[in-house]
Amino acid sequence: MYEDASVSAAPLLDVEDLQTQFLARDGIGRAVNGISFQVAEGETVAIVGESGSGKSVTAMSIMRLLPARTTRVAGKVRLLGRDLMALTEEDMRSIRGNVLSMIFQDPMSSLNPVLTVGQQIGEALALHAGLRGRAAQDRAVAMLELVGIPEPRRRVRQYPHELSGGMCQRVMIAMALACEPRLLIADEPTTALDVTIQAQILDLVKDLTRRTGAAVVLITHDLGVVWEVAQRVLVMYAGRVVEEAPVAQVFRDPLHPYTRGLLGAVPTLDSSAGGGRLAEIPGTVPGIKERIDGCAFAGRCALAVDACRAVVPALQVKSPGHRVACHRVEVQEGAGS
């Protein structure tokens, strides 16, 4: 079992060797390939990577929201010491939206168009808190007020199509936090919003989690969001964790060539003023059905040697809390010194 000095001996969430496969007539797709990580009480951990790296599938696997007929999930996911993978669906329903909650990527497709905002918040309150009628509505109004929606008593009676995208995202946050979860998973919570609203939503999530004490697993491709919100970051590539470290350390001293590529592609004021092209990582993420014998990043990596293409690199602890999976990590460290 993976141990990390930066995480307490009894983590809130402990994911061990999580593997998620999609089953199809033409073969098996390996979307998540044996990842392990922990989240402490009150901590915000970001999972970053390109589309296709396995970030959202990891979140859906933890929530056990993937269809059982077409997916196979293995490994252990312990929340407060309880293995979610071993629970019945009935027991899992008692945890979702209660101890464990999620903000989905697209609020317009996640909210039910035929139920009012108040009814949708009220469903979770009825199931987990036993609140109904006026008590549920008052709690829904209080949650809308908490997330900064004006005129909450009027909005609680409205339908999702009557609200803006930013308001719908705030409703999703209100629903996710209504039962005061211990762990909140936020899957690209600002992707569909303009820059101004993005900043407001991020500030809201930070403020609410600080006040409620909830831990957060933040799924994102935006390293600017990571810097703003998280304490620790996992970099995923082709279903594996390739680097994990405190956020400041990753920005200051990235060790994996993929992490360096992601950071090199982040726009800065200097790059914009200079009018130069942003750095780019050549190629694309391997498909989930593609056979990979060694490091999945080898085909895109300028430092790759024969060993990289033949042997999967193991995660190595390079310093307290900093792990990296790279055969050429000494070359990376030399380049950064």
| pLDDT tens digits along 222-245 | 888 898 889 999 999 999 999 999
195/326 same-domain check = yes
211/242 same-domain check = yes
Token readout for 121 is 């918040």
131/91 same-domain check = no
- Give me the pLDDT at residue 58, please: 97
274/196 same-domain check = yes
Q: In this structure, is residue 204 part of a structural domain?
A: yes
pLDDT at 26 over 90: no
Q: List, in sequence order, every residue forming a beta bridge with 21; answer none if it has no partner.
A: 30, 72
Q: In this structure, is residue 17 part of a structural domain?
A: yes
> Burial code of 10-23, b = ≥16 C-beta within 10 A, e = fewer?
ebbbbbbebbbbbe
Q: In this structure, is residue 3 part of a structural domain?
A: no
pLDDT at 7 over 90: no
Given 124, 154, 180, which residue is the final one in a domain?
180
Q: In this structure, is residue 39 part of a structural domain?
A: yes
Which band of pLDDT confidence, cut at 50, 70 and 90, is reported for residue 215? Answer: very high
Give residue 206's domain range.
13-99+182-336
Q: Which of 71-80, 197-206, 265-274 shows the lowest per-residue confidence on average (mean pLDDT)?
A: 265-274
303/237 same-domain check = yes
- Give me the pLDDT at residue 159, please: 96
207/329 same-domain check = yes
Q: Would you say 53 and 241 are in contact if contact means Cβ atoms under 8 Å apart?
A: no
**pLDDT tens digits, 268-299:** 656 554 556 777 888 999 999 998 999 999 99
Q: In this structure, is residue 6 part of a structural domain?
A: no
Residue of 218 and 265 predicted with greater confidence: 218
Burial class (CB in 10 A: 0-12, 13-18, 19+), 190: buried
155/121 same-domain check = yes
Count up the domains in the chain and report the number. Answer: 2
221/241 same-domain check = yes
Across residues 75-95, what is the average pLDDT? 96
Instruction: Specify the CATH number for the domain of residue 41.
Output: 3.40.50.300
pLDDT at 48 over 80: yes
- Give me the pLDDT at residue 269, please: 59
pLDDT at 336 over 70: no
Burial class (CB in 10 A: 0-12, 13-18, 19+), 231: middle
Q: In this structure, is residue 45 part of a structural domain?
A: yes
Q: In this structure, is residue 4 part of a structural domain?
A: no
Which band of pLDDT confidence, cut at 50, 70 and 90, is reported for residue 308? Answer: very high
Given 119, 150, 180, which residue is the final one in a domain?
180
Given 155, 180, 205, which residue is the final one in a domain?
180
- Give me the pLDDT at residue 208, please: 81
The residue with tokens 């602890």 is: 317
Mean pLDDT across the chain, nearest whole number?
Answer: 89
137/261 same-domain check = no
What single letter denotes the amino acid at residue 43? Answer: E
Q: Which of 14-28, 36-50, 203-217, 264-278 shows the lowest per-residue confidence on average (mean pLDDT)?
A: 264-278
pLDDT at 81 over 80: yes
**pTM for this entry:** 0.90
32/143 same-domain check = no
174/187 same-domain check = no
Which band of pLDDT confidence, cut at 50, 70 and 90, is reported for residue 27? Answer: confident
Across residues 18-22, what is the average pLDDT? 97
Residue of 144 and 212 predicted with greater confidence: 144
Q: How far is CA 7 from CA 121, 229, 305, in A?
A: 33, 18, 34
Q: In this structure, is residue 165 part of a structural domain?
A: yes
Q: List, in sequence order, every residue forming a beta bridge with 101; answer none if it has no partner.
A: 184
198/287 same-domain check = yes
Which band of pLDDT confidence, cut at 50, 70 and 90, is reported for residue 2? Answer: very low
